A and B are shown apart, each in its own frame.
Chain A
């Protein structure tokens, strides 16, 4: 079975704090892709990052960083020095080879307070 778990339903932080959003996935496939999307209050889904199962290098993009660990089936997302504009629902998604669909986690609502 393929599954994505985002155990944190909602997180509140104060501006400038660092925050990590957890994502744990399940798949028996050896080739798969993991994604993070941001859904701000305006409702659109904004692509953040794509990672394939053969690339375990961590990635940093500005204040965003991602930690992919196959050993724990996790693909966590950290926002450094959070800002109010980071307030959104963040989704982790899994796409396995041979399928034409994403399996989404249930999302984590991040609230950054000024």
Chain B
């Protein structure tokens, strides 16, 4: 009965590799997000998708490409990984409510380590 799930939980890889992180939510939400948490615990939005459409791309390098095959999934593909990409990546979801804001619910995070 997991609400927002991410796989894998840990990802260790070499510089230059390409990797993907998957996110799925079973809350019936229509908006999904990717956030990056750096080593100092700072959380910053990367992307937002509403009904499978990209709404926000927060000046993220184009090596990062999100893909939303349907409203319940938002995957993150990263090309040519760099040392600076090491971080914890959180997926989140919420329901768009006209004139209001729903709470974002977060997945457990994926800790990416680039060697």
Contact = CB atoms under 8 A, between A and B. Distances in A.
Contacts, number: 55
Interface residues of A, number: 22
A104 B92 CA distance: 14
A107 B103 CA distance: 18
A106 B44 CA distance: 10
A30 to B, nearest CB: 13
A43 B88 contact: yes
Contact of B108 (A44, A50, A89, A107): A44
Interface stretch (B19-27, B48-56, B79-87): B48-56
27 contacts: A35-B103, A35-B104, A37-B106, A43-B111, A44-B109, A45-B109, A47-B103, A47-B105, A50-B103, A52-B100, A89-B41, A99-B56, A100-B31, A100-B33, A100-B50, A100-B55, A101-B33, A101-B45, A102-B35, A102-B43, A102-B104, A104-B43, A104-B44, A106-B40, A106-B42, A107-B41, A107-B42
